[in-house]
């Protein structure tokens, strides 16, 4: 038993922090936020690809580094901390994971090396409207190898070269670029689009029923997203703490008042719970454990709650300045919404968690 990163994994994580510290300060994030025509930071994306991170968990046989999923979790934590405005999650946590989990040998050979090399941006298209994605409610259809339907929102849809699309009977690969209409979202530092597929060529991905296949991909993405959320939540706590030490009111640093101290202690407690559950999720993902669906749901609910709480209370700790466009707390507030919704909202995951508990107790 060992419940921590290994020394090598810690080194990788420190290296990633240094790299992102130099390449992805909040000015880079704001570059995307303030420019409606930019959907990601291409220079950062290329630099990340050059590091080999896109292929961290992709086997060497498919052009990756073959490090493993715990290493990918360590990178995710740093990307989340830095608010990296790049299509990393869409490409790696969703599309590459879907290919590795469900793809045929031919599909894997064709796409994974390109993903690892940074030549292909991916997008995972499931939602069709307000409310939870559920079996029997998917209108997208495939007939004679051609897919039709509307997906909204599709994260990174307008920059994707390869889309994995949920149809009523299964997941399908659709090659981009596709006509996509950019959307105004809560987090403009991440791209999102509405896509109308009108009889586009589509190739089946895996044999599983569509909803089950989507869930299997979501389970894997949920663990990786939990690490991004954890990284963001840690950073939001740091920002709140730094500000509380520096800001004086009524003759002393506001961090000396219990109202602020207890608030930050509450954030810390939630972050530690999220960290411990994320670690368990990383183990389940990396070792292929049967507990993955329950561990993933546990990690996701904890991380979504922690990041939301840290992000909103970071603004509160900053007071009026925290509500301005120029101050950085809004970046985490926005990203916490994007990450909490992208693979299904917390309420959906809580329901999924209890369903897993019922199944486990029945067995």
Partner 1 sequence: MDFNDTADEAEYRARARDWLAANVAAHKAIDHGDDMAAARAWQARKAAAGYAQITWPKEWGGGGGTPIQSVIFGQEEARHPVQYGYFTIGLGMCIPTVMAFADDATKQRFVGPALRGEEIWSQLFSEPAGGSDVAAIRTRAVRDGDDWVVNGQKVWTSGAHYSDFGIVLVRTNPDVPKHKGLTMFWLDLRAPGVEIRPIHQMSGGSNFNEVYFTDVRIPDSQRLGAVDAGWKVALVTLMNERLAVGGGGGAGPKEILKLAREVDGADGGKLLHDPAFRQKLADWWVQAEGLRNTRMRTITALSRGQTPGPESSIGKIIAANQLQDIGNSAVEAEDQYGIIADPALAPLRGLFQSATLNAPGLRIAGGTDEILKNIIAERVLGLPGEIRTDKDAAFRDLPA
Which CB sits closer to partner 1, 39 or 81? Answer: 81
**Dist CA 60 CA 68 (whole Å):** 11
Contact (Cβ atoms closer than 8 angstroms) between residue 82 and residue 22: no
Q: Residues 52-91: x/- map of binding to partner 1 (CB under 8 A)?
A: ------------------x---------------------
Q: Which stretch binds partner 1 (CB under 8 A): 135-143, 165-173, 174-182, 260-268?
A: 260-268
Q: Does 301 bind partner 1 (CB under 8 A)?
A: yes
Smallest gap, in angstroms, from Cβ of residue 288 to partner 1? 12
Which CB sits closer to partner 1, 206 or 344? Answer: 344
**Dist CA 141 CA 170 (whole Å):** 9
Q: Angle at Cα 272 formed by Cα 270 and Cα 276, nearest 5°?
A: 120
Strand partners, 36: none
Alpha helices per DSSP H over 38-192:
42-50, 69-82, 88, 97-102, 105-116
Smallest gap, in angstroms, from Cβ of residue 333 to partner 1? 21
List of residues 6+ apart from 273 with CB closer than 8 A:
302, 306
Q: Does 250 bind partner 1 (CB under 8 A)?
A: no
Smallest gap, in angstroms, from Cβ of residue 77 to partner 1? 13
Residue selected from 113, 286, 312, 337 as contacting partner 1 according to rule CB under 8 A:
286
- Buried-exposed string 102-125: b where 16+ CB fall within 10 A, e elsewhere: bbeeebbebbbbbbbebebbbbbb
Q: Angle at Cα 215 formed by Cα 70 and Cα 212, nearest 5°?
A: 135
Contact (Cβ atoms closer than 8 angstroms) between residue 45 and residue 86: yes
Q: Residues 319-358: x/- map of binding to partner 1 (CB under 8 A)?
A: ----------------------------x-xxx-xx--xx
Smallest gap, in angstroms, from Cβ of residue 237 to partner 1? 8
Element (H, E) at 314: helix 292-318
Which CB sits closer to partner 1, 158 or 298? Answer: 298
How many other CB atoms are found less than 10 A from the CB of residue 222?
Answer: 31
Smallest gap, in angstroms, from Cβ of residue 248 to partner 1? 11
Which CB sits closer to partner 1, 116 or 274? Answer: 274
Residue selected from 101, 253, 327, 345 as contacting partner 1 according to rule CB under 8 A:
253
Q: Does 2 bind partner 1 (CB under 8 A)?
A: yes
How many other CB atoms are found less than 10 A from the CB of residue 243?
Answer: 21
Contact (Cβ atoms closer than 8 angstroms) between residue 205 and residue 174: no
Which CB sits closer to partner 1, 160 or 264? Answer: 264
DSSP state for residue 142 in the 8-state scheme: E
Q: Does 302 bind partner 1 (CB under 8 A)?
A: yes
Size of the site for partner 1 (CB under 8 A): 51
SS (H, E, C) 47-90: HHHHCCHHHCCCCHHHCCCCCCHHHHHHHHHHHHHHCCCCCHHH
Which CB sits closer to partner 1, 196 or 253? Answer: 253
Beta strands 203-205; 170-175: pairing state: antiparallel
Q: Does 280 bind partner 1 (CB under 8 A)?
A: yes
Q: Does 305 bind partner 1 (CB under 8 A)?
A: yes
Q: Does 264 bind partner 1 (CB under 8 A)?
A: yes
Residue selected from 282, 311, 331, 341 as contacting partner 1 according to rule CB under 8 A:
282
Q: Which stretch binds partner 1 (CB under 8 A): 76-84, 223-231, 275-283, 328-336?
A: 275-283
Q: Does 219 bind partner 1 (CB under 8 A)?
A: no
What is the contact surface with partner 1 in residues (CB under 8 A)? 1-5, 70, 237, 241, 244-245, 252-253, 255-256, 258, 260-262, 264-266, 268-269, 272-277, 279-280, 282-284, 286-287, 289, 297-298, 301-302, 305, 347, 349-351, 353-354, 357-358, 361
């Amino acid at each position: 038993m060992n419940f921590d990163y290994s020394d090598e994994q810690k080194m990788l994580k420190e290296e990633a922090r240094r790299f992102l510290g130099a390449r992805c300060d909040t000015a880079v994030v704001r570059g995307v936020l303030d420019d409606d025509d930019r959907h990601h930071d291409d220079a950062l994306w290329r630099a990340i690809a050059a590091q080999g991170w896109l292929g961290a968990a992709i086997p060497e046989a498919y052009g990756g580094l073959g490090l493993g999923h715990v290493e990918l979790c360590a990178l995710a934590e740093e990307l989340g901390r830095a608010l990296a405005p790049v299509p990393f999650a869409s490409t790696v946590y969703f599309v590459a994971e879907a290919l590795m989990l469900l793809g045929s040998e031919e599909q894997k050979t064709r796409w994974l090396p390109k993903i690892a090399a940074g030549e292909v941006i991916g997008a995972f298209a499931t939602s069709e409207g307000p409310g939870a994605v559920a079996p029997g409610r998917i209108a997208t259809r495939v007939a004679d190898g051609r897919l039709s339907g509307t997906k909204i929102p599709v994260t990174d849809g307008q920059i994707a070269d390869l889309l994995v699309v949920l149809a009523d009977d299964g997941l399908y690969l659709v090659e981009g670029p596709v006509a996509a209409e950019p959307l105004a979202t809560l987090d403009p530092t991440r791209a999102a689009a509405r896509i109308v597929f009108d009889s586009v060529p589509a190739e089946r991905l895996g044999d599983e029923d569509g909803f089950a296949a989507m869930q299997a991909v979501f389970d894997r993405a949920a663990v990786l997203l939990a690490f991004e959320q954890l990284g963001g939540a840690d950073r939001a706590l740091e920002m709140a703490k730094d500000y509380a030490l520096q800001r004086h009111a009524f003759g002393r640093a506001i961090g000396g008042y219990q109202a602020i101290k207890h608030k930050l202690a509450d954030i810390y407690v939630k972050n530690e719970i999220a960290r411990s559950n994320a670690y368990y999720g990383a183990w389940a993902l990396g070792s292929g454990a049967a507990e993955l669906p329950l561990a993933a749901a546990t990690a996701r609910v904890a991380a979504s709650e922690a990041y939301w709480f840290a992000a909103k209370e970071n603004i509160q700790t900053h007071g009026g300045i925290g509500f301005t466009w120029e101050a950085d707390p809004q970046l985490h507030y926005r990203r916490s919404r994007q990450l909490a919704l992208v693979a299904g909202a917390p309420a959906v995951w809580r329901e999924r968690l209890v369903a897993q508990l019922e199944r486990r107790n029945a067995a």
